[in-house]
């Protein structure tokens, strides 16, 4: 039922909105593409543009443009904020799996508990 997802996603103009967000988020040229530029680019798309990303990261838009174009690298703390935007939510199943994996991991020598 195509009409259901269109209504849930914001109607028939959703494609135009997504495409305009893509256009407002420059991508680094291939020679300067890094994990930083890719994550920032996706965060920019998700937030709706450079201005929105700059506001979220609390930095000038000009700085975000430099990072997106691979001219400089963001500080780690800022980059991790961008990672939070693009990462999916941590679910209860993720938490249960994490606890299960940690419980099965051998303890380092000399550690108790």
Domain chopping of the chain, boundaries: 2-103
- CA nearest 67: which of 92, 91, 41, 49? 41
Share of the chain above pLDDT 90, in %: 55
CB crowding 38-77: b at 16 or more within 10 Å, else e: ebbbebbbebebbebbbebbebeeebbeebbbbeeebeee
**Is the pLDDT assigned to residue 50 strictly greater than 90?**
yes
How far apart are the C-alpha atoms of 69 and 86, rounded to whole Å? 18
Position 4 scores a pLDDT of 34
Query: What is the structure's pLDDT at 89?
Result: 82
Rounded mean pLDDT of 3-30? 57
Mean per-residue pLDDT, 82-89: 90
Query: How far does Cα 108 stand from its chain's mean position?
Result: 34
């Amino acid at each position: 039922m195509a009409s259901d997802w269109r209504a849930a996603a914001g109607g028939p103009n959703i494609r135009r909105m997504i495409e305009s967000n893509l256009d407002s988020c420059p991508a680094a040229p291939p020679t300067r593409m890094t994990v930083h530029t890719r994550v920032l680019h996706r965060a920019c798309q998700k937030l709706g543009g450079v201005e929105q990303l700059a506001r979220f990261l609390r930095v000038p838009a000009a700085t975000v443009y430099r990072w997106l174009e691979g001219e400089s690298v963001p500080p780690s703390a800022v980059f991790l904020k961008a990672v939070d935007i693009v990462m999916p939510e941590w679910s209860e199943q993720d938490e249960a799996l994490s606890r299960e994996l940690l419980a099965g991991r051998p303890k380092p020598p000399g550690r108790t508990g």
